[in-house]
Amino acid sequence: MMNGTLNTYLKHRSIRSYKDKMIKKNDLELVIKSAQAAPSSINGQQVSIIAITDKEKKATITELCGNQLWIDEAPVFLLFVADFYRAKLAADKNNVPFGITDGLEASLVASVDVGLSMGNAIGTAESLGYGTVCIGGARSNPTKMVELLNLPEYVYPICGLCIGYPKDESTLKPRLPKEAVYHEETYNKELRPLIDQYDKTMSAYMKERTNGENDRNWSEGISNFYKTNYSPHTRNEMKKQGFKNE
Amino acid sequence: MMNGTLNTYLKHRSIRSYKDKMIKKNDLELVIKSAQAAPSSINGQQVSIIAITDKEKKATITELCGNQLWIDEAPVFLLFVADFYRAKLAADKNNVPFGITDGLEASLVASVDVGLSMGNAIGTAESLGYGTVCIGGARSNPTKMVELLNLPEYVYPICGLCIGYPKDESTLKPRLPKEAVYHEETYNKELRPLIDQYDKTMSAYMKERTNGENDRNWSEGISNFYKTNYSPHTRNEMKKQGFKNE
């Protein structure tokens, strides 16, 4: 059975080129409303969203995220942050100690919550005809991002989201074969043939998309990206904001 | 403008009581397909899903997740895991070093990916008439979960999801006021009045739901939960699976 929700999910693709046109105010309201409606751990709602539409500020954010020019182009940039600041206020209000941000658990909880909330924002925006792209580069310069947006203690930038009217249609990117990510009852470790198969699919996809100029396959791409911990500052930066990750 | 996607999101509630009836095979296919269609960091697809329907195994998982009996009741339990095992295979295939799991960044990336993927699974399941509930308790006994499901290195349990036919309708839980989680251009730290307001809302909600027996408000609930790092084992357990979180 196909329905609107499923249709939205299955045609998802990232959009990195936007028209110079603000999204409708009421649509942004719905995006935020749906982001808030997502489930969260213990109903703690460990996510906040900062919307940036100011062009100068957005230009700064483009730089802070590693010069991803589609942030400049998109009329709205939403920053999703891990947020235990409200939980700290709650602890103060009730005069009890506050220990959750000592542990790595807090970072996992908030990151999952960000994914759930941002996922709803994406689905809603796309169902209303907009394009989106997630910006993991929002974690590249956390100190400057914290200063720019006045983020308090126990708040940390996790992921950005561009929203706008798509300028170009982009193509649907093939995913790993289902058998490589879905397991029944127990994890099947024999994945190499499936990775080989996907490498062929992605190589052909890239070749077609770049008119023959680039046929890099999946495992080449991600193994190059994951050679090292490309973000060695994260632990210290999170500590500055009160996340000890012990 | 209201549509199917938005409607699914806005009526979301967690379901903790299920009929003894398997979900349709084709519907489970769609749930998994939509979970795979979610965006992921660098198209790395850092998530895997293990479906457990075996009753004995599900009973064990119920215990491992802190005796959450709705896992027993639900016909399907999906475990969403952070997965860099495929990335390790990709590195081996291309004969390059593999360093990403040294850093905390890997845990953030995979947790956000889990949220995005699980969010699609939730939306699809709910749009097809099923109920769901997320199980953060899937992180409570990682070593035993790893053994039970045969999880390889660079794979770690992040969150579970029950799916089934709802036995009881549950009520829609009020969220924090929009102004407490949504900020324009800059973070507004003056949140205490909004927390006070939400505390009143949640106290009334709890009172009605429990026929007057419990009127605990939001800040009491979460400040009690977050007094300490309730999961001090996480860092060591992740290390055992290859996530150093440096």
pLDDT tens digits for range A144-194: 999 999 999 999 999 999 999 999 878 899 999 999 999 999 999 999 999
Q: Does B211 touch chain A (CB under 8 A)?
A: no
Nearest one of A127, A163, A154, A159 to A28, comparing CA atoms: A163
Q: Give A 68-127 residues with CB within 8 A of chain B.
A: 83-87, 89-91, 93-94, 96-109, 111-120, 122-124, 126-127
In chain A, residues with a C-beta closer than 8 Å to the C-beta of B225 are 42, 44, 100
For the cut 90, the answer to whether the pLDDT of residue B1 exceeds it is no
Q: What percent of chain A has pLDDT over 90?
A: 97
Nearest to B185 among A10, A57, A225 (CB): A57
Residue A34, C-beta contacts closer than 8 angstroms, at least 6 positions apart? A120, A121, A123, A124, B6, B9, B10
State the CATH class of domain A4-171: alpha beta
CA distance B224 to chain A (A): 8
B117 and A117: CB-CB below 8 Å? no
Q: Does B36 touch chain A (CB under 8 A)?
A: yes
Q: What mean pLDDT is predicted for residues A210-238?
A: 96
d(CA A34, CA A49): 12
Q: What mean pLDDT is predicted for residues A13-23?
A: 97
| β-strand partners of A83 | A155
Three-state DSSP state, B151: coil
Task: With both helix axes pointing from N to C terminus, report the angle between A192-209 and A218-225 in degrees, rounded to the nearest 10.
Answer: 100
Nearest one of B190, B189, B161, B179 to B47, comparing CA atoms: B161
Nearest one of B176, B184, B232, B224 to B201, comparing CA atoms: B176
In chain B, residues with a C-beta closer than 8 Å to the C-beta of A37 are 9-10, 12, 175
For the cut 60, the answer to whether the pLDDT of residue B204 exceeds it is yes
Q: Does A153 touch chain B (CB under 8 A)?
A: no
pLDDT tens-digit readout, B13-49: 999 999 999 999 999 999 999 999 999 999 999 999 9
In chain A, residues with a C-beta closer than 8 Å to the C-beta of B158 are 108, 112
pLDDT tens-digit readout, A81-128: 999 999 999 999 999 999 999 999 999 999 999 999 999 999 999 999
User: If one looks up domain B4-170 in CATH, what number appears?
Assistant: 3.40.109.10
For the cut 80, the answer to whether the pLDDT of residue A2 exceeds it is no
Q: Does B5 touch chain A (CB under 8 A)?
A: yes
- Computed over every residue of chain A, the mean pLDDT equals 97
Boundaries of every domain in chain B? 4-170, 178-221
The pLDDT of residue A1 is 56
Residue B226 dihedral angles phi and psi, to the nearest 5°? -100, 15
Q: What mean pLDDT is predicted for residues A199-209?
A: 96
pLDDT tens-digit readout, B58-93: 999 999 999 999 999 999 999 999 999 999 999 999
- Computed over every residue of chain B, the mean pLDDT equals 97
Confidence of residue A214 (pLDDT cuts 50, 70, 90): very high
Q: Can you tell me which residue has the tokens 């949140």?
A: B191
Confidence of residue B145 (pLDDT cuts 50, 70, 90): very high
Alpha helices, DSSP H only, in B103-141?
A: 104-127
**CA neighbours within 13 Å on the CB side: how many for B125?**
31
Nearest to A119 among B111, B115, B226 (CB): B115
Q: Does B204 touch chain A (CB under 8 A)?
A: no
Specify whether the CB–CB gap between B47 and A197 falls below 8 A. Answer: no
In chain B, residues with a C-beta closer than 8 Å to the C-beta of A106 are 229
The pLDDT of residue A170 is 84
